[in-house]
Structure 1
Amino acid sequence: MADGDAVARHVAIIMDGNGRWAKKRHLPRAVGHQRGVEAVRKLVRSLKDTSIECLTLYAFSSENWKRPEDEVDDLMNMMRKFIKSDLPEFIANDVKLHILGDWRGLAPDIVQLLNEALDSTSNGRRTLAVALNYGSQQEIARAAALAAKEGAITPDAIERHLDTAPLPPLDLLIRTSGEVRLSNFLLWQCAYAEMMFTDVLWPDFTPEHLSQALDEFARRERRYGGR
């Protein structure tokens, strides 16, 4: 695709830096997570003004269970509040929820809330995909096992069983907070995705930052292994 023509239909974000944001301000980590949720809320509201058909957010990894119990509890409680408070807005703004990862292994009340949210937003035309209890290596292993039951294990067969199968191909991955790694997120899907890393901590990431990233994406030339 020639320079200036690229349009990002599917953008994924590793939302990193809540804890560092709070530490810089001498605040509890929970406050950083709360401000991170507010950043998510603002970003989702801005989607209608972008080319994005699907926004995928890395909310809780399968490795995050290693964090202190009180921090995990805070994150789960914020998830509950977010689903309850923002679901009507999702429906009003034609946003469909999609979940990646082993989310059915979460607490039963959260699973019920997510099931209800998936049902009530199923007709949305723009997708918010949230990775919960997600690890990309585990996702690929699950997909390969399912592909093997059907026959030959091919890239196409694996792709059909990935958590992202219903979503557009990943165009752009953004990571905040200055870290430059994928942290077991969308490893398969990132094969030809463009990547951007920013020093901005997640609670400070705004729709304007996203707009700048989309502008930068549009200037890139995507070759998919060609010349």
Structure 2
Amino acid sequence: MKAMILAAGKGERMRPLTLHTPKPLVPVAGVPLIEYHLRALAKAGFKDIVINHAWLGQQIEDYLGDGAQLGLNIRYSPEGEPLETGGGIFKALPLLGDEPFVLVNGDIWTTFDFSQLHTPLQGRAHLVLVDNPGHHGRGDFRLLEARVEDADGTADTLTYSGIAVLDPALFAGCQPGAFKLAPLLRAAMARGEVSGEHFSGHWVDVGTLERLAEVEQLLVEGR
């Protein structure tokens, strides 16, 4: 199974760190954020990784190269213009092939074990959900047994972690350009084609300097 890391964000809320450094290369306890994902994926047995990028993206390619130093084969999907999540994935599909692939948001930090995603996909998507963080108390979806549904204002919601397994068929009928992933997922949920799981381990959406400090504290405590 291949994996894709979304790394095209500009990281405006993390300025001044991201003025001259792409967000995925911002160091967390001395290690670039994206490297935690790559090491975790390699440990889980993944070999082929696709990374999209835009803002200062050449720095990412220069730092990671072909991934050989991490035991990986990394290919890149550069974006000349912002394509949002859905458009970015759609552009990268020729590099990902026809089989389901793992998707990871590049701006999260987690102890999630990616090896458990080496399972046959039921439907069009499988989402890893987490408890709602303080900055996103309303959540995104709800988990009913192993099926994910749109929250639609209901209670017992969870937040999408930014980790998923997607079938390329989810993007059938899409056209090149900028579009969001969420509408495609919600349409698949309405058809009962999205499974999910609840991860209760460490997970942080590293979207601000304060949350970056939170991750560094977790890493210090973990040592």
Of structures 1 and 2, the one with the larger relative CO (CA 8 A, separation 6+) is 1
Which structure has the highest helix share of the two?
Answer: 1
Is the pair's TM-score, using the shorter chain for normalization, greater than 0.5? no
The TM-score with structure 2 as length reference comes to 0.37
The TM-score with structure 1 as length reference comes to 0.36
Which structure has the highest strand share of the two?
Answer: 2
Highest CA radius of gyration, 1 or 2? 1
